Amino acid sequence: MTDMMSVKEASEKWGIFDTRITKLCREGKIPGAQKHGKAWLIPKNTPRPTDKRYKNQPHSETGEDQILPLPIGITKYQIASTQYYYVDKTMMIKDFLDERPMVSLYTRPRRFGKTLNMDMLKTFFEKADEDTSIFFQNRAIWKCGEKYRSYQGRFPVIFITFKDIKFDTWDKTFEMLKSTIGNEFSRHSELLNSSRCSDFEKKCFLEIAERKADLVSLSGALALLSKLLYQHHGEKAIIIIDEYDVPIQQGHSKGFYDEVVDFMRNLFSGGLKDNPCLAYGFLTGILRVAKESIFSGLNNLVIYSILDEKYSTYFGFTRAEVEQLALYYHAEDQLKELCEWYDGYRFGNTEIFNPWSVINYFNIGCKPRAFWQSTGSNDIISEVISNANEEIYERLEKLLQGDKFLTLIDTGVIYPQIQKNPSTIYSFLLVAGYLKAENAAISPNGDFMCEVSIPNKEIKSVYNKEVLQKLDSIVSPSSAVAIQEAIYTNNPEKLQVHLRNLLIRSASSFDTVGELFFHGLFLGICAMFDDQYYVTSNRESGEGRFDIQLMPKASNRPGVLFELKAQKSLTDEQLEKLAQSALSQINEKSYDTEMITRGVLPVFKFGVAFSGKHVEICTQS
């Protein structure tokens, strides 16, 4: 059938996802489409489909033609599902009810929809004065039948999120814990009038609700509140703890790790371990932290990490969901760019897009930016870089160049291990969203061997940004200006002196690092040329990939090329030869090809060699 094309060919021709085309074929919306076996064939002269609507397309309550806004920063299910474009994740409820583990822990990177999903569970299960079933009647879960509907509005629910508990000291953290938990007690003020609760229990309740509880009393808050709710409603309570590990991460980075871990252990033990008043428990976080014994003895806990297939589609957007978003906002032509910037994650065997970045991308008119890096602290990657040895630097460099490698992944890794065992950094980077894992194979002790790589352009830019930020405390403004002047004037002697002084004043750890650190050091300095040069690194030109290039924005500026090399324990003579070989590489590989093509003259070429705190520079123009 030479006059017919496959769905894949049509996808490439029209710029529409193949899953969308298959759906249109099934619905009879593509004239002449024929099914052959399991595949569809389409006449080659068929025009590109113009129908941008799809079954069950979201529409506003005020009119079908009004385009719904995107739920940026919206974490309340009732609002997100009625006033904004909502990606339906309610089948998560069905999957849970089919299995019904006593306590579930979902570990995902930040901004992947954890809080919104937990609020969805709260809205579905919680017994309320109003009819909350209206928020699910047009959702996927409602079509699953009475077996699942019967759980709607049935349970008292305790809902606490720790996502905003980010303080510098344990005292301030404990005060915020008192306030956060106290607010949830106040939400259940009906218990103060309950005839099924004793006066003593009400007194204990008030102590926590009024933020007067001490450490011991607050540690028993979940046990107490679930007990009173059970007594009052005659139904066991559901406990939902969102972002449980945020205070733990703060404790690690700010020096009160032991205090916060001890508190969390006691809090969760009372609420989730052998609690006769507990129906089900849900927790979310970035890390599992099981080895810290926070969940000591909690044998009813089931953990769903990013490497597990179950629940893999409910945090983040699937490819089909992004396709529908693109159709709805008339941005089908941007699908390739979306994939390059925000796709690439893999949860279980499911391809996942970063949901925060996708909705921000559509919201600003489909302009790619690194939205995710500004949503919270990148302390994890900063600490990784601070504690990296030469081998880790080399591997990070390979990742930035698009390579991948096999490594052991422990999804139960804990914060202190970064300092004690730097090789655990790949586990941290994976669970925190800075890497993707493929071809995972589980070992006998429960760890995974995975092939890891950087998922997309957005995360690559985050790595670069973090490396540059680490250099802020190293390169003073005066040093940067002096180095810039030496580059502008093509003065290798002056440049060598300033770089040498910079390294002498800096940390002794430079003695152990390799070429990646010095590459980052130069990038940090060159970034200050941003108003006059386009700064690029590791890009092809001529017959290879240059290290750093400064392409002038104005014709009266010279072009600049750097080739960097680093080796340990070199003599002065060896260091000079290494610098000369770096300069020779620029010429031999014709790294100046792009500049010459654009008519940039002159081109300053610097071969730079490092050995610990020693530096040698050769130049040519």
Residue 80 in this model has a pLDDT that exceeds 50:
yes
Q: Which of 346-355, 545-554, 589-598 has the lowest mean pLDDT?
A: 545-554
Q: Which of 275-279, 349-353, 608-612 has the lowest mean pLDDT?
A: 608-612
Whether 68 maps to a domain, the answer reads no
Are both 19 and 127 inside the same structural domain? no
Q: Which of 31-40, 108-117, 156-165 has the lowest mean pLDDT?
A: 31-40
Q: What percent of the chain has pLDDT over 90?
A: 48
Are both 455 and 393 inside the same structural domain? yes
* pLDDT value, residue 527: 65
Are both 37 and 105 inside the same structural domain? no
Whether 575 maps to a domain, the answer reads yes
Residue 71 structure tokens:
């739920």
Which of 10-14, 377-381, 462-466, 560-564 tops mean pLDDT?
560-564
Q: What is the mean pLDDT of residues 382-394?
A: 68
Q: Of 465, 500, 519, which residue is a domain's last?
A: 465
Residue 432 in this model has a pLDDT that exceeds 50:
yes
Specify the pTM. Answer: 0.75
Are both 273 and 149 inside the same structural domain? yes
Are both 519 and 450 inside the same structural domain? no
Residue 509 in this model has a pLDDT that exceeds 50:
no
Split at pLDDT 50, 70, 90, the class of 391 is: confident
* pLDDT value, residue 218: 97
* pLDDT value, residue 13: 77
Q: What is the mean pLDDT of residues 312-337?
A: 93
Are both 21 and 169 inside the same structural domain? no
Residue 546 structure tokens:
């240059």
Whether 63 maps to a domain, the answer reads no
Secondary structure class of 128 (helix, strand, coil): coil
Are both 37 and 150 inside the same structural domain? no
Other Cβ atoms closer than 10 A to 313? 20
> What's the whole-number average pLDDT of the chain?
85
Whether 309 maps to a domain, the answer reads no
* pLDDT value, residue 15: 65
Whether 69 maps to a domain, the answer reads no
Q: What is the mean pLDDT of residues 64-75?
A: 85
Query: Each residue of 251-267: pLDDT tens digit?
Result: 988 899 999 999 999 99
* CB distance 123 to 247 below 8 Å: no
Query: Each residue of 45-67: pLDDT tens digit?
Result: 888 776 443 444 565 544 455 78
The amino acid occupying position 553 is K
Whether 202 maps to a domain, the answer reads yes
Secondary structure (DSSP) of 590-616: TTTHHHHHTT---EEEEEEEEETTEEE
Q: Of 447, 465, 483, which residue is a domain's last?
A: 465
Whether 79 maps to a domain, the answer reads no
Are both 221 and 297 inside the same structural domain? yes
When comparing pLDDT for 532 and 445, which is higher? 532
Are both 130 and 256 inside the same structural domain? yes
What is the number of structural domains in the chain? Answer: 5
Domain span at residue 397? 379-465
Whether 91 maps to a domain, the answer reads yes
Q: Which of 1-10, 217-226, 431-440, 536-545 has the lowest mean pLDDT?
A: 536-545
**Gyration radius (Cα) of the chain, Å:** 29
Residue with tokens 């693109």: 326
Are both 461 and 476 inside the same structural domain? no
Secondary structure class of 423 (helix, strand, coil): helix
Distance separating alpha carbons of residues 271 and 39, to the nearest angstrom: 53
Q: Of 100, 89, 235, which is closest to residue 157 (Cα–Cα)?
A: 235
Query: Each residue of 94-136: pLDDT tens digit?
Result: 999 999 999 999 999 999 999 999 999 999 999 998 999 999 9
Q: Of 465, 489, 524, which residue is a domain's last?
A: 465
Q: What is the mean pLDDT of residues 536-556?
A: 82
Residue 569 in this model has a pLDDT that exceeds 90:
no
Are both 336 and 295 inside the same structural domain? no
Nearby residues of 63 by Cβ (< 8 Å), 6 or more positions away: none
Are both 345 and 416 inside the same structural domain? no
Secondary structure (DSSP) of 342-408: H--EEETTEEEE-HHHHHHHHHTTS-----GGGSS--HHHHHHHHH--HHHHHHHHHHHTT--EEEE
Query: Each residue of 451-491: pLDDT tens digit?
Result: 999 999 898 887 766 655 555 556 667 777 787 788 778 78
* pLDDT value, residue 541: 79
